[in-house]
Chains A and B, each alone.
Chain A
């Protein structure tokens, strides 16, 4: 199963914070939908009308999929998917 890496900025929004979550799925879209099924409190941060939030950055195995193809990007067993929301603490 792919592994989602959850940064502090998203952990703080989870009812039961975890820094890694293993989810089923063969695409980024599958993995994120599995995450929001278990953690619906993240839905509005990750998605806008079923599309990825335009300011959320996603990296698969330290590579950046093109934003328009991100949800369809293939993930493998053991893939690490990093989710980075915008932050502005200064």
Chain B
């Protein structure tokens, strides 16, 4: 049940056709895992906290460095040298103290993925390294949980919605880790924040049931040229990570 204060706090978004009190209640009941709260994940978390997603679990290791601050907008100057997880928790709970925020000072790995993915409804992949992305993908597919994929590089952003049984997965899109990928990539916060806001809305649409998710479609945005394209993608027939195409699980 929404409290009177929640009905007031979320009233402008409850006016979006198809949301109402029922949609807001679905947001309140939702549990979402975000892998890293950097330039992309931080803004995803900020939007979902503002929208009233009831439980946000965020995995992000390490201490805050000066070079994080151009894009990791949950981080504040006074936390430099301290645990990023504490800063993430502080900023999100300042924005919305009504929701549960669980920040784990670990990055996604094959070891912790079963635990971190275990009791959420939806995962959002914002890690800067392919092994972390694949670890979350593989576990989400195994557990039948949808995953929003929203990577960027320079002025490029990709966005798609993987739903086990109905779409392919990250391994279908990119079966092999590119050896040339580097941890450090060129980025303005305005670009990482753009794809983050679109990814957050994919999550909101999925949870509330409004609109249409980017299933079997890859959105490519090049913010340098402002070309946006919707491109068809599909499950690979021999993908060992996807569940069988007819096995409709979680929210089919």
Q: Which residues of chain A in 1-44 are interfacial with respect to chain B, using CB atoms and an 8 Å cutoff?
A: 5, 7-9, 11-12, 19, 44
Question: Does the CB pair A55–B174 fall under 8 Å?
Answer: yes
Question: Does the CB pair B155–A90 fall under 8 Å?
Answer: no
Complex: A19 Cα to B225 Cα, angstroms: 8
Complex: A35 Cα to B129 Cα, angstroms: 28
Complex: A35 Cα to B36 Cα, angstroms: 36
Complex: A63 Cα to B234 Cα, angstroms: 11
Complex: A12 Cα to B81 Cα, angstroms: 31
Question: Does the CB pair B229–A82 fall under 8 Å?
Answer: yes
A5: B residues at CB distance < 8 A? 227
A45: B residues at CB distance < 8 A? 178, 180
Complex: A59 Cα to B152 Cα, angstroms: 19
Complex: A9 Cα to B155 Cα, angstroms: 8
B138 to chain A, nearest CB (A): 15
Question: Does the CB pair A64–B153 fall under 8 Å?
Answer: no
Chain A: interface residue total (CB-CB under 8 A): 25
A9: B residues at CB distance < 8 A? 153-154, 156
In the complex, what residue of chain A is closest to B178 when comparing beta carbons? A86
Question: Does the CB pair B128–A88 fall under 8 Å?
Answer: yes
In the assembled complex, B220 has its CB within 8 A of some CB on chain A? yes
Complex: A45 Cα to B179 Cα, angstroms: 9
Chain B: interface residue total (CB-CB under 8 A): 45
Question: Does the CB pair B130–A88 fall under 8 Å?
Answer: yes
B233 CB contact (under 8 Å) in A44, A64, A88, A89:
A64
Most central of B129, B156, B181 by chain A CB within 10 Å: B156
B107 to chain A, nearest CB (A): 11
A49 to chain B, nearest CB (A): 13
A19: B residues at CB distance < 8 A? 222, 224-225
Complex: A70 Cα to B123 Cα, angstroms: 32
A89 CB contact (under 8 Å) in B35, B151, B229, B234:
B151
A7-B156, A19-B222 as given contacts; A55 in contact with B230, CB under 8 Å: no
In the assembled complex, A84 has its CB within 8 A of some CB on chain B? yes
B158 CB contact (under 8 Å) in A12, A64, A87:
A87
Pairs across A and B, CB under 8 Å, 9 listed: A7-B222, A19-B222, A54-B176, A64-B234, A87-B153, A87-B156, A89-B39, A90-B38, A90-B128
